[in-house]
Amino acid sequence: MQGGSSGVGYGLKYQARCISEVKADRDHTTFLTGTLSLKEENEVHLLRLSSGGSELVCEGLFSHPNEIWDLACCPFDQRIFSTVFSTGDSFGAAIWQIPEPYGQSNSSTLECVASLDAHVGKINCVLWSPSEKSDKLISMDEQNLVLWSLDCSRKSAEVLSKESAGMRHSLSGGAWNPHDVNSVAATSESSIQFWDLRTMKMVNSIERSHVRNVDYNLKREHILVSADDESGIHLWDLRKAKVPVQELPGHTHWTWAVRCNPEYEELILSVGTDSAVNLWFASASSEKKTSESPVEASRQRVNPLLNSYTDYEDSVYGLAWSSREPWIFASLSYDGRVVIESVKPFLPKR
């Protein structure tokens, strides 16, 4: 199914690449996004979906000193988030706190809680532990993984361990396993690597070229989804990961990111440089499901693409589901356009 957009939109002042759900906000559907301007002072926007779902309201506008290349919200404190940024000459990463009170009318400066300054090369991402009781986070550059302990009250971050992936591997990003807090998947030019954080050693890998992004299925313990530059989307059963259990076509140009729905295990979103957001129906299992309805089985055999949202004028890089309302997602195109969509018409019948 092809379609435009009937979603709720919001325009940023500058170009942008990253958006994150504020999962710690239990009362509202909220997202945080940051801009990528080389010449102007950048901004972080706190966006909240109205109770009726008809308007995306800016609840806070904050200045950020550098271009934001990665942004991730703390899972246990709605005022804390991380950014990876570029000064033009080098990359850095930091943990920030949103000041109180805040509002769009009084753009204010963010408070830096801690700098993640254990890197030398280009930093790619910061991952927060999926455990809400954990103070751990990981920063990743092209060669190294660094495990941190964060103390917001003391405004400090301590390096717990640091390990090199080796010169042969150029790390680009990753995902923390929500089913195992000691396991992280890291993407590189030639493989998906699986690291044990207790030993800070790589314990397994999937040989795969040019994997752009990965995400774990929250409802299926052993399922990982990967987005490849040219060969689409692959679903892996990590118990037998020599070949993918399912392949999806992806996008007509690079598939940039994939996200598994937090509640409906069959739904996967992807974005790409073809200016589209695709919604997929995938079994996410190597085992035949006897309870599968005829409609769902037919979808999977004939065309797993449920809908393509194509009302974008630039590459789409940012993508986030809402945990609070799992039929809602936010997307962000490079021209700074945020769109909130509902997938309610495509939800699997329970």
pLDDT digits (tens, 9 = 90+) for 49-102: 999 889 999 999 999 989 999 999 999 999 999 999 998 888 999 999 998 866
HEC string of the chain equals CEECCCCEEEECCCCEEEEEECCCCCCCCEEEEEECCCCCCEEEEEEEECCCCCCEEEEEEEEECCEEEEEEECCCCCCEEEEEEECCCCEEEEEEECCCCCCCCCCEECEEEEECCCCCCCEEEEEECCCCCCCEEEEEECCEEEEEEEECCCCEEEEEEEEECCCCCCEEEEEECCCCCCEEEEEECCEEEEEECCCCEEEEEEECCCEEEEEECCCCCCEEEEEECCCEEEEEECCCCCCCCEEECCCCCCEEEEEECCCCCCEEEEEECCCEEEEEECCCCCCCCCCCCHHHHHHHHHCCEEEEECCCCCCEEEEEECCCCCCEEEEEECCCEEEEEECHHHCCCC
The pLDDT assigned to 298 comes to: 41
Residue 131 pLDDT class (50, 70, 90 cuts):
confident
pLDDT class for 226, splitting at 50, 70, 90?
Answer: very high
Mean pLDDT value across residues 279-300? 58
CA distance 315 to 212: 15
Q: Is the pLDDT of residue 317 over 90?
A: yes
pLDDT at 293: 52
pLDDT of res. 1: 52
Q: What is the pLDDT of residue 127?
A: 98
- Tell me, what's the pLDDT at 255? 87
Residues with Cβ within 8 Å of residue 285, at least 6 apart in sequence: 220, 223, 237, 245
If you average pLDDT over residues 148-171, what whole number do you get? 90
User: What pLDDT score was predicted for residue 158?
Assistant: 97
Higher pLDDT among residues 244 and 230, named by residue = 244
Q: What is the pLDDT of residue 250?
A: 79
* The pLDDT of residue 288: 47
Confidence of residue 326 (pLDDT cuts 50, 70, 90): very high
Task: Provide the residue count of the chain.
Answer: 350
Tell me the pLDDT of the chain averaged across its residues.
Answer: 89
Predicted local distance difference test score (pLDDT) of residue 155:
94
Residue 266 pLDDT exceeds 50: yes
What is the predicted pLDDT for the residue at 303? 85
Among 43-52, 249-258, 319-328, whose mean pLDDT is lowest?
249-258
- pLDDT at residue 284 in the model: 57
Mean pLDDT check: name the lowest of 66-75, 129-138, 257-266: 129-138
Which one is predicted more confidently, 6 or 110? 110
Residue 311, Cα to own-chain centre: how many angstroms? 21
Q: Name the band, by pLDDT with cuts 50, 70 and 90, for residue 190.
A: confident
The pLDDT confidence band at residue 105, using thresholds 50, 70 and 90, is low
Q: What is the mean pLDDT of residues 206-221?
A: 92
Average pLDDT over residues 110-120: 92
Least confidently predicted of 20-29, 223-232, 279-288: 279-288
Q: Is the pLDDT of residue 229 over 80?
A: no
